[in-house]
Structure 1
Amino acid sequence: MNSSPDLSSPRTSAIGIDLGGTKTEVIVLDADGHERWRRRLPTPGGDYSGTVATVVGLVNQARRELRLADATIGAGTPGSLTPQGLIKNANSTCLNGRPLQRDLSEALGQAVAMANDANCLALSEATDGAGAGAGVVFAVILGTGVGGGIAVHGRVLGGPNGLAGEWGHNPLPWATEADPRWACYCGQAGCIEMLVSGPGLARDHHGGLGGPTAAEIAGLAAAGDPIAQAAMARHAERLARALSHVINLLDPDVVVLGGGLSRVASLYEAVPRLWGRHVFAAGAAGQALRTRLLPAVHGDSSGVRGAAWLGRAAGTRLA
């Protein structure tokens, strides 16, 4: 089991890129996982070439300021790679069908390891975070979109189709008439992502137009607003159903939450209290459900740290 960074690779700096729908972040870690450099910029929405330029600019800035002659590079994206090297299934739809890994590698002059951002979260938290030392970690990004990643004994599962952990585009299980079946960009309706993401929470609360954000709704609920409290209760119950499905399939030791909604403290009490209703034989023979729900130790930095470890593991050094 991995409880600390893998230091078997050459002891060089590791650059991590976290390409999100709203922000792009680059971090540099030393061989022991200590942060040396970090910058964040808004992601140019709907602009593929601008997105590539933003990433390249940040990486080159890190190289200049730290005088990095040799560093591995890994990147986390909101989609996954096809066998042909094209991005698919990204909620930042300008990336879909684009050879992002090739374009970044050519622009930066070296190989760039690439994985889904939820896989990077799973790798980070299984390496030296909330899931360190655990056999199976399921990592969830609850933000603009919803993604999942799986780490087993410290190694991320990708799968032959690059789909392992793609949990957000399954239908919400045990759906009721009270659960909306909103259309999803993936072509389906009623997806988990549409209901438990930040925009899904906002849409459930007020239609999603011109009202408070998900974070603001959580704050209103904590302050006693009854409408916000009702929305948060529906959100927690839907998230519990969605995660109980994962427990039935994967039986993870730890479920780690990342993304903006992972900062909602009430989820860590409400969801485990509710998910046992749908877990097979939960509580049988007096045995309590042992899966733990925990926030990402590295918070918003977990995905970008995982991207750095991804590059280190792949050995994506300058040729």
Structure 2
Amino acid sequence: MRIGIDLGGTKIEALALDAEGRELARRRIAAPQGNYDATVAAIRDLLAALESETGEQGTVGIGMPGAISPATGLVKNANSTWLIGHPFGRDLEAALARPVRLANDADCFALSEAADGAGANAASVFGVILGTGVGGGIVVNGALLSGPNAIAGEWGHNPLPWMHPDEYPGADCYCGRKGCIETWLSGPAFARLYKEEEGEAQTPEEIVAAAQAGKRPARLALRRYADRLARALAHAINILDPEVIVLGGGMSNIEALYDEVPARWSAYVFSDTVETRLRRNKHGDASGVRGAAWLWPEGSSA
């Protein structure tokens, strides 16, 4: 049995899969906010409840914000900032009494969608999260690409490319820089920019609904978002040249993006044609937790 755990900023979800990838059990709890020790304890208790329900013990893979530094073994780059600087992997292995495999949550999303989702059978997949934060994961020939710095796919903390004069210098990012892609393309950024531009506080869902109803300010906001996403993805295409880009996170539910973004990105991609396919995720909110479970390949044992 494989167990995947998706550690989010607001929830922790656990999923047990059998050898064929069929779901055996699933549980979700609220994530402790700002408390590292409580986070470790919550994962321990969630795992115990899942194994009690199934009557089996499984391997454990965990999708997390940020990454484990190869140099120190401590968490870095997490927007759940209370994890930063802690030996999360070691503490989890002690609490769970078994080996644990960890990967960035966007990596887990990409692995799930490449395995049997919207990127299945593609030689190269770039999985993109457009949610509370913005991140990415890269899968090549079925294998997750990590890299010596454990930052492969950290697309959200590059600057927005081909910025327009009125976009400089960009908003402050929690990473300490300005104008990161995350500050333009996350769900909260979309709402913040709309309020700055239109003087009206709206959720991303409300803005999209207004655009679909033909409201001009919302339509323009959505058009600006699509153009920024096209520029940011074109930059990734110029570097990775993936067969498929799969979108996840709340902003991936905007149906118009799947036509508008490919129509716009050709202006920025360094090629006469762009064969890369942009697809919506197949597994929805379950992709991250499924990908975490798949961090243990078939035949592996804890």
Q: TM-score range by the shorter chain?
A: over 0.9
Residue 295 to residue 112, structure 1, CA distance change in 2 (3 Å): same
Larger CA deviation: 40-49 vs 303-312: 40-49
- CA deviation digits over 1:142-198, x for unaligned, max 9? 100000110000000000000111110000000012325101111110000110001
Work out whether residues 113 and 314 of structure 1, in 8 Å CA contact, stay in contact via their aligned partners in 2: no
Q: 1:103-252 counterparts in 2 under 5 A?
A: 103-179=91-167, 181-207=170-196, 211-252=201-242
2:181 partner amino acid: I
Structure 1 distance, partners of 2:23, 2:256, is 30
Partner of 2:44: 56
Structure 2 distance, partners of 1:88, 1:314, is 30
Residue 217 to residue 41, structure 1, CA distance change in 2 (3 Å): farther
1:200 partner amino acid: A
Work out whether residues 236 and 271 of structure 1, in 8 Å CA contact, stay in contact via their aligned partners in 2: yes
Residue 217 to residue 44, structure 1, CA distance change in 2 (3 Å): farther
Work out whether residues 72 and 312 of structure 1, in 8 Å CA contact, stay in contact via their aligned partners in 2: no
Structure 2 distance, partners of 1:216, 1:307, is 32
Work out whether residues 19 and 298 of structure 2, in 8 Å CA contact, stay in contact via their aligned partners in 1: no
Work out whether residues 123 and 306 of structure 1, in 8 Å CA contact, stay in contact via their aligned partners in 2: yes
- CA deviation digits over 1:105-145, x for unaligned, max 9? 11111111000111111111111111111111000011000
Larger CA deviation: 52-61 vs 160-169: 52-61
Structure 2 distance, partners of 1:191, 1:87, is 21
Partner of 2:271: 281
- CA deviation digits over 1:279-307, x for unaligned, max 9? 01334xxxxx2100001111111111000
Work out whether residues 131 and 251 of structure 2, in 8 Å CA contact, stay in contact via their aligned partners in 1: yes
- Structure 2 residue 22 is matched with structure 1 residue 34: yes
Partner of 1:291: 276
Could you tell me the TM-score, scaled by structure 2's length? Answer: 0.95
Gaps of 5+ in 2: none
Q: CA deviation at 1:257?
A: 0.6
Residue 250 to residue 55, structure 1, CA distance change in 2 (3 Å): same
Residue 32 to residue 221, structure 1, CA distance change in 2 (3 Å): same
2:152 partner amino acid: A
- Structure 2 residue 247 is matched with structure 1 residue 262: no
Partner of 1:286: none
Q: CA deviation at 1:22?
A: 1.8
Work out whether residues 120 and 303 of structure 1, in 8 Å CA contact, stay in contact via their aligned partners in 2: yes
Could you tell me the TM-score, scaled by structure 1's length? Answer: 0.90
- Structure 2 residue 292 is matched with structure 1 residue 302: no
Q: CA deviation at 1:316?
A: 5.1
Partner of 1:315: 300
- CA deviation digits over 1:192-245, x for unaligned, max 9? 011000111011111499932223322222222222222111111100000000
- CA deviation digits over 1:58-95, x for unaligned, max 9? 11110111111x31100001101112221100111111
Work out whether residues 14 and 71 of structure 1, in 8 Å CA contact, stay in contact via their aligned partners in 2: yes
Structure 1 distance, partners of 2:30, 2:207, is 23
- Structure 2 residue 88 is matched with structure 1 residue 100: yes
SS of the residue corresponding to residue 310 of structure 1 reads coil
How many residues of Structure 1 are paired with residues of Structure 2 in the alignment? 299
